[in-house]
Amino acid sequence: MKTFITSTRLADGRELLYFDESEQQHLEHDERPLEPRKLENTGQIRYDALTSDWVAVAQLRDSRIYLPPADQCPLCPSTAENHSEIPASAYDVAVFENRFPSLGPAVGEAPIARSWGTRGVAYGRCEVVAFSSEHEGSFGTLSPQRARTVLTALAQRTGFLNGLPGIKQVFAFENRGKDIGVTLHHPHGQIYAYPYLTPRAEVMAQAALRYQREHGGILLEHILRSEREAGDRMILEGRHFSAYVPFAAHWPLEVHLTPHRQVADLSELNEEELDELAPFTVDLLHRLDLIYDSPTPYIAAWHQAPLDPELRAVSRLHLQITSPRRAADKLKYLAGSEAAMGAFINDKSPEQIAKTLREAAG
C-alpha cells in the first residue's frame, strides 16, 4: 500500500508530517502567532542513584491542555474558530513534534559518569501521532486501511528517530481512556526517543541476553513457541504474528502480540507483515471493548529493541496491551505491593483472561 508523505513546519518551527492514503496537497500554513521554539528550553534529567534510573523533569508539561471540548481540540483539523496543531482542512494521519515534550527538542548524549547529584539535559524527541481527523475513536476503531497507514507512520518515524544523535531507545504507544490518564480524547498515540535505556527495556534486554548466553537462542522466540504449544492462552495465530495472554500476566487484561521472525522494531517489518499486523491489532483492541458495555481503557505499548548492538541482536519487537479494568465497574489500582515493591498480584488467571478474549470476537 502506497503512503504519501508530506513534510512541513508549524509556526514555532516544529516538524509536521502528513501520511495520506491518496495524494493530497497540504498547502495550508500554521498562522498562529507562536514564539519560535528554543532548543535551550529542553528540560532536565536527574539520576536516581538508589535505583540507577533516570527521571525526566519537564515543568513545561504542567501547562499543557487537559481534556478540551471537541471545538477546541488541538488534533482536529484547523478551522477559523480553532487554529489547531494541524493546519489542514482534512488529513489521514499526522505526526508532529510535541509542543509540551517530556524530552527534547535538543538531541545529544546523556551523562556517562553517574552518581548521586548527576543531572543532564533531557535530550530526545517526543512526537504525537494523530490517527484520524475524526475526534472520537481509538486505534481499535480504525479501519484496517487506516490502521495500516498509522503503522506505516510508526515504522517510518522509528527508523528516523533511531538515527538521531544520542538516542538509545525508541518507544511507540497509545494511551486510551481517562482512567489511563489521557489528556486528549482525540484518537492518537505518541513516540518517545530516549537518550537512555528505560528501566523496563533494560530488564527485558538483560533477560534476553542471559537467555542467549545460556541457551544460544532468542528468548521471545522460545516464549512464543512455548505459548503456541501450550495453547490455552492463545488468542489469535496468523502467518506472521501470534497473540496470547502471557503465562505470568500482570494485569486483569493483558495481551502480547509477537512476530514469528526475529525483528528488532517496527521499521524492520516488511510490507506483508504490516498488511497482516494492521487488522490483527485492530481485532485485538476491539475485543477489549466487547467484554463490557463501555469502552475499555488500555495502554498499547510497542516494545522495540534498544539501539545498543549487543542488546538489539537478542531483543524482539512485540506489542503489549494492558488494561487495569478487572470488572465492568472496577479498576485495578497499583497499591502497596505493586507501586512500592513492583510485585504484581493478579486477581485473574491468564487462562481465564485468554478465554474471555477468545470469546469476545465480534
Structural domains in the chain plus CATH codes: 4-193 (3.30.428.10), 201-359 (3.30.428.10)
Tell me: pLDDT of 61 over 80. no
Q: What is the pLDDT of residue 58?
A: 86
Per-residue pLDDT, averaged over 309-322, amounts to 98
- Residue 62 pLDDT level (bands cut at 50, 70, 90): low
How many residues appear in the chain? 362
Rounded CA-CA distance 153/157 in Å is 6
Q: What is the pLDDT of residue 40?
A: 85
Q: Give 238-242 contacts, CB < 8 A, sequence gap 24+.
A: 238/276, 238/280, 239/276, 240/272, 240/273, 240/276, 240/277, 241/273, 241/276, 241/277, 241/280
Question: Is the CA virtual torsion 163, 164, 166, 169 positive or negative?
Answer: negative
**What SS3 state is found at 90?**
coil
Per-residue pLDDT, averaged over 221-238, amounts to 98
Tell me: pLDDT of 347 over 70. yes
- Residue 63 pLDDT level (bands cut at 50, 70, 90): low
Tell me: pLDDT of 205 over 80. yes
Please give the grid coordinates belonging to residue 302: 510497542
Per-residue pLDDT, averaged over 223-235, amounts to 98
Per-residue pLDDT, averaged over 57-83, amounts to 86
- Residue 65 pLDDT level (bands cut at 50, 70, 90): confident
Tell me: pLDDT of 299 over 80. yes
Per-residue pLDDT, averaged over 51-79, amounts to 87
Mean pLDDT, the chain, rounded, equals 95
Tell me: pLDDT of 348 over 70. yes
Tell me: pLDDT of 163 over 80. yes
Tell me: pLDDT of 131 over 80. yes
Region of residue 257 (phi > 0: left; psi between -120 and 50: alpha; otherwise: beta)? beta
Per-residue pLDDT, averaged over 79-106, amounts to 95
Unique residue bearing C-alpha cell 474558530: 81
Neighbours of 91 (CB within 10 A): 21
Q: What is the pLDDT of residue 64?
A: 72
Tell me: pLDDT of 66 over 80. no
Q: What is the pLDDT of residue 41?
A: 83
**pLDDT per position as a tens digit, 251-288:** 999 999 999 999 999 999 999 999 999 999 999 999 99
Read off the amino acid at residue 265. Answer: D
As a whole-number percent, the residues of the chain with pLDDT over 70 amount to 99
* Alpha carbons within 13 A on the beta-carbon side of 351: 3
Q: Yes or no: say if 2 and 24 are a contact pair by the CB < 8 Å rule.
A: no
Burial class (CB in 10 A: 0-12, 13-18, 19+), 337: exposed
Please give the grid coordinates belonging to residue 246: 502471557
Per-residue pLDDT, averaged over 94-100, amounts to 96
C-alpha dist (Å) from residue 59 to 62, 101, 123, 171, 255: 6, 10, 15, 21, 34
Tell me: pLDDT of 60 over 90. no
Unique residue bearing C-alpha cell 491468564: 350
Q: Give 232-235 contacts, CB < 8 A, sequence gap 24+.
A: 232/351, 232/354, 233/350, 233/351, 233/353, 233/354, 234/354, 235/284, 235/287, 235/354, 235/357, 235/358
**pLDDT per position as a tens digit, 138-152:** 999 999 999 999 999
Rounded CA-CA distance 317/319 in Å is 7
Read off the amino acid at residue 38. Answer: K
- Residue 361 pLDDT level (bands cut at 50, 70, 90): confident
Residues labelled as active-site residues: 188
End-to-end CA distance of the chain: 26
As a whole-number percent, the residues of the chain with pLDDT over 90 amount to 89
Tell me: pLDDT of 81 over 80. yes
Q: What is the pLDDT of residue 362?
A: 62
Listed residue (177, 213, 168) closest to 54, CA to CA: 168
* Alpha carbons within 13 A on the beta-carbon side of 251: 17
